[in-house]
């Protein structure tokens, strides 16, 4: 059923719950697991629109995300799963969908935390909602309150 599962993982509370659900599905379907974290090219990295590029800042951010992925991958491998992890750089939904296509993913799992205020929902947007619209395969959204 699901031979390759892609987990968009950031180590957050909703990401941790998605990791647990991912383990359950992988165990049931004997799936290979791939974890990705996406580092956006944001104003913090690019420098408030003036084109300032700080390679040390970008490398520190990438190393921090890699550490989160390594921990998630370690937990999956310790539980007996086949798992890999990779940091991607770019727009979150685009990078996840390109990677899912690249590995032939049958399922993408993403964590989602309900935001309390309408302003927070408007400002942040919804990666999971956009991902559902653009994904090349099924998407499982794991909700935390």
Q: What is the mean pLDDT of each run of 10 residues along the chain (145 residues)?
A: 89 77 80 90 53 76 90 90 92 95 95 62 66 93 81
The whole-number pLDDT of residue 117 equals 54
Rounded to a whole number of angstroms, the CA Rg of the chain reads 15
The whole-number pLDDT of residue 85 equals 93
Q: Which CATH number fits domain 4-144: 3.30.1330.10, 3.30.1360.120, 3.40.430.10, 3.40.50.620?
A: 3.40.50.620
Return d(Cα 77, Cα 100) in angstroms, integer. Answer: 20
What pTM was estimated for this model as a whole?
Answer: 0.81
**CA torsion through residues 121, 24, 101, 134, sign:** negative
Angle between helices 127-134 and 92-103 (to 10 degrees): 40
Query: How many CB atoms sit inside 10 A of residue 95's CB?
Result: 20
């Amino acid at each position: 059923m699901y031979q390759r599962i892609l987990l968009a993982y950031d180590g957050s509370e909703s990401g941790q719950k998605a990791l647990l659900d991912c383990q359950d599905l992988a165990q049931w379907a004997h799936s290979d697991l791939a974890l990705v974290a996406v580092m956006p090219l944001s104003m913090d990295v690019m420098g408030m629109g003036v084109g300032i590029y700080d390679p040390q800042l970008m490398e520190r951010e990438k190393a921090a995300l890699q550490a989160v992925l390594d921990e998630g991958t370690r937990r999956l491998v310790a539980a007996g799963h086949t798992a890999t992890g990779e940091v991607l750089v770019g727009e979150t939904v685009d990078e996840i969908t390109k990677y899912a296509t690249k590995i032939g993913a049958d399922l993408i799992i993403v964590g989602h935390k309900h935001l309390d205020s309408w302003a927070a929902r408007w400002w942040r947007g919804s990666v999971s909602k956009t991902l559902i619209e653009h994904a090349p395969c099924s998407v499982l959204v794991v909700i935390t309150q």
